[in-house]
Amino acid sequence: MKQVAIIFSGCGVFDGAEIHESVLTMLHLEQQGIQYRCFAPNIEQHHVINHLTGEEQAETRNVLTEAARIARGDIQDLEQLNADDFAALVIPGGFGVAKNLSDFAFKGPESQVLDVLKNICQQFNKQQKPITYLCIAPALIGHIHQPGTKATIGNDADTAAAVTALGAEHVECAVTDIIVDEQQKVISTPAYMLAGNISEASAGIEKAIKRLAQLID
């Protein structure tokens, strides 16, 4: 059975991977009969946010250790991810994508991404294997794929402008829909960039994973 790799960016919407999106990704992959394995970079988070108060905490946490909470401990260092072993890749959103996997949250169109992440994603792309980006993760697309690759973060004008400045072609999208660049085999959906509840987020993610399954086949 073919496997899909999932890359997490920590644990928690404000400083890591968005938990609902991460769990929905695993659920919808399983419902499509697709096995998955989880990965995260073994690095310190940019910062730690108290999710009750929204305040920054005077502590440090490790992205891989935190992501292991979502993966129930079944997770590996991102350095161990080999595109040869997987049929596709999914990157859930959350501010960890823009703070830990990249510095998009701080530098927008001047941002950079982790070298290991960029190299891995480009290996999937070179092998013509599909990649699904959720929520804010499409902000990575301009760094990874050829100029003009279609992407969506929904309809936020400022974020869309930054995505466009990085080289992607931003396309507005409803929360329950997806944007697919057929040539690049890139799928994106707004998820919690627009979702008002978990059901709305699930609808778009389910559609994205179903399209991913079709591209794998």
Tens of pLDDT, residues 12-53: 999 999 999 999 999 999 999 999 999 999 999 999 999 999
Q: What is the CATH number of the domain that holds 121?
A: 3.40.50.880
135 given a catalytic annotation? yes
Tell me the two tokens of residue 8.
Answer: 């997490």
Q: In this structure, are residues 190 and 208 in contact, taking their beta carbons and an 8 Å threshold? A: no
Q: Which domain holds residue 172?
A: 3-216
Quick one: pLDDT at residue 1? 59
Q: What span, in angstroms and rounded, lies between the C-alpha atoms of 128 and 21?
A: 25
Give, in degrees to the nearest 5, the angle at Cα 124 between 201 and 139: 45
Mean pLDDT along residues 157-174: 97
The residues pairing with 75 across neighbouring beta strands, listed in sequence order, are 38
Quick one: pLDDT at residue 101? 98
Q: What is the pLDDT of residues 110-158, one digit of tens each?
A: 999 999 999 999 999 999 999 999 999 999 999 999 999 999 999 999 9
Quick one: pLDDT at residue 2? 84
- pTM for this predicted structure: 0.97
- What total of structural domains would you count in the chain? 1
Q: What's the chain's Rg over C-alpha atoms?
A: 15
Q: What is the pLDDT of residues 44-80, one digit of tens each?
A: 999 999 999 999 999 999 999 999 999 999 999 999 9
Quick one: pLDDT at residue 55? 96
State the catalytic residue, choosing from 11, 38, 121, 135.
135
Mean pLDDT along residues 175-197: 97
